[in-house]
A and B are shown apart, each in its own frame.
Chain A
């Protein structure tokens, strides 16, 4: 356990998180222990409201947690400042969202290049890099298109290219196929698997068994706890 804990890309120990709504407190994560090894493709499943998104947001440093320890790439993420969180996000993490979250007035190419802009990469370089990743997801011919000129599957592939461009250790995807039909879902999943084969750790939140079954392992959340692992 301790060796795995150190080799893990992600190691969570007794993570607890509660939401405060008015005077009421809703505990969503009631002590999560889990490790994700480098290069794993992991699915998180669970009924609606079970805390999947909450867990993924904690993993993605988009939200903080109340208690426990989170070690990402060997570094403790406890009590990070906004600024440090932004830096770790841009260094280690890539995000894929259910609703794509592309910037509507930017072309596919510019959307993909955006993370490099925040890393201070010169324009020429980031354009070239973005083009390479667009080709990788099969959208080289769509580089100049705006998001609303793309299909759902294409948008999600652009989002995946954007998640990849900063060369993250981990890609976190919250229901990446939730807005897609089954054929495009399979395409997107195939792409994620391909990326995973290159060594990038991927965590996918999903409702769909067909998606989860393509993963190395499924983490099931129930009532704020991990129900059991299945490899």
Chain B
């Protein structure tokens, strides 16, 4: 089973997508090859994808869907010229907490696989991941363990472990209680501390509400 991992982040190998790939790979006995969509010619890559049995595309959520560079690759994809049935699976990580934020992307990815006559392995969605590469690793210890287990299961079975997919996708939507908590003045303030700290460190806190394009 020849698998190719594609990294679909515009930050290529120094973003959160790369961390997801690294932890997925840590569950494998033999690492898989990784290519970076940012650095590829989409037409050439689309053709070379036909040499694999399975494609795993790992990407950040960008404006409720795939980053522009990934859509540019999708535009070049064609069904395999022979009967060879390629399998394709996706891992999407996002900033917002609830995984339902990626629901239209998930629907599109499934429909794309169908369009291309590929076998769809599903889409793993993990929200609340924007700070993965900023905060110390122990904040995300549980996530990294789950990704390692996802990798180990994939190597053994050639598919995503449905239990892990459910766990990573939690919460699908915010509960009323979560909304009330997140909207409470204290939690709102706490949530802003991180952003404001970065803005202050960069000397632009006073400009945070600028409207430069008016």
Q: Do A and B come from one complex?
A: no
Which A residues have a C-beta under 8 Å from some C-beta of B? Answer: none
Which B residues have a C-beta under 8 Å from some C-beta of A? Answer: none
